[in-house]
Amino acid sequence: MLFSQIPGVEETKRTLINSVKNSHIAHAQLFQGREGSANLALALAYATYINCGNKEENDACGECPSCYKFNKLIHPDLHFVFPISTTKEVPKDALSNLFMKHWRSIVIENPYLNLNNWGDTIGSENKQLNISVDESRNILKSLVLKSFEAEYKILILWLPEMMNASSANAILKVLEEPPSKTIFLLVSNNPDKIITTILSRTQLITIRSFTDEEIKKNLTAKYSLDEKRAGQLAYLAEGNMNEAIRLKDEIQEDNHQLFRDWMRSCYKKNNIPEMVGWSESFQKIGREAQKHLLQYGLNTIRETFLFKHTGTEILRMQEDELKFVEGFSKVLDDLKIEQISRQLNEAYYHIERNANAKILFLDLSLNISSLMKK
């Protein structure tokens, strides 16, 4: 992976590039970031840059033999460890190297994946994924040999928080005193769950979540989404690139238009037949789309509250959405905002538990209508 393939986070890219230029490469680094951040992608780009045979000013060349193999995740001096479980394909003695085909496939497609994506890919069937003590022992064996081709051997350990105390303790010594020209890049979403003896042996690299604009840029460039839809998905994803990628395949409706027209219908007097029509329409769009509509509604209610108290400076909405929020804020006071938020949250909870959507949305519409007219 190249730095140029990762949207935004320029400040972290610059820090990583400078560490190589200044020969200040720490032998154990922890890339911490929330789920859906660029932490794994940056670790991959950093590893590629470190061993590039023809480094450019701001990136690896992407064309030398080393870059080619790193981009395909097939370089003999690039090692991976990640949480796994036994599966139908690997019914016993499961280790990361037995799942490399699946790992290469999903990471090349989506380097912002989460643990659920990975479990589905390997067919874990809801088994608990972890990094076992046998995996830790295998790390020690794989790092004993000298590099095959590259200047540095690099091991990327994805989600070290999935190690138990025994597996974590098994790598403490090698993490503190690794073989010559060996680099550990740990990639974590929950560093608070990593034992302190591991944390104390790593240099921390904190990676912020993506901005809406960075997510929008990635969705339009890589997936050819139009800017309006990409902007709506970025707003819903709240900094999580993996969530934005997931949403692009699931949300077909324009949630802004749906929510706006639905709320206007709720505000009208003596409008029960129209609300019945809305409940029938919502029943047809499918459970995931129903959940996303409710989530969009919750986000809009939050932005309405912020607009009432701060104006537009910190809002993340587009022009047509802002216009609606401005009008919506004239109808709702703080108490109504709180009550409608509670109604939307409860509806989301029940939709997740397979409630009858037609009944639920009619009841929700009537409740919101009553609250608006108080």
- What the chain holds in terms of domains, given with CATH numbers, is 3-209 (3.40.50.300), 251-372 (1.20.272)
* pLDDT confidence tier of residue 314, bands split at 50, 70 and 90: low
Q: What's the one-letter identity of residue 353?
A: R
* pLDDT confidence tier of residue 356, bands split at 50, 70 and 90: very high
Burial 125-155 (b: 16+ CB within 10 A, else e): eeeebbbbbebbebbeeebeeebeebebbbb
The CB density around residue 341, as the number of other CB atoms within 10 Å, is 16
Mean pLDDT confidence for 42-46: 98
State the DSSP string of 203-227.
Answer: EEEE-PPPPHHHHHHHHHHHH---H
* pLDDT confidence tier of residue 29, bands split at 50, 70 and 90: very high
* pLDDT confidence tier of residue 33, bands split at 50, 70 and 90: very high
Mean pLDDT confidence for 264-287: 89
- pLDDT at position 161: 96
| Phi/psi of residue 154, nearest 5 degrees | -130, 130
- pLDDT at position 317: 65
Between residues 292 and 158, which one has the greater pLDDT? Answer: 158
Between residues 145 and 240, which one has the greater pLDDT? Answer: 240
Residue 236 has pLDDT above 90, yes or no: no
Q: Please give the share of the chain, as a percent, with pLDDT higher than 90.
A: 71
What is the pTM for the complete model shown?
Answer: 0.75
- pLDDT at position 285: 83
Torsional sign, CA 313, 316, 318, 320? negative
Strand partners, 80: 156
Could you tell me which of 348, 345, 341, 340 has the C-alpha nearest to residue 366? 340
Residue 149 has pLDDT above 70, yes or no: yes
- pLDDT at position 224: 87
- Rounded CA separation 159/145 (Å): 25
pLDDT tens, 316-333?
666 778 888 889 999 899
pLDDT tens, 66-95?
999 999 999 999 999 999 999 999 999 999
pLDDT tens, 92-144?
999 999 999 999 999 999 999 999 999 999 999 878 999 999 999 998 888 87
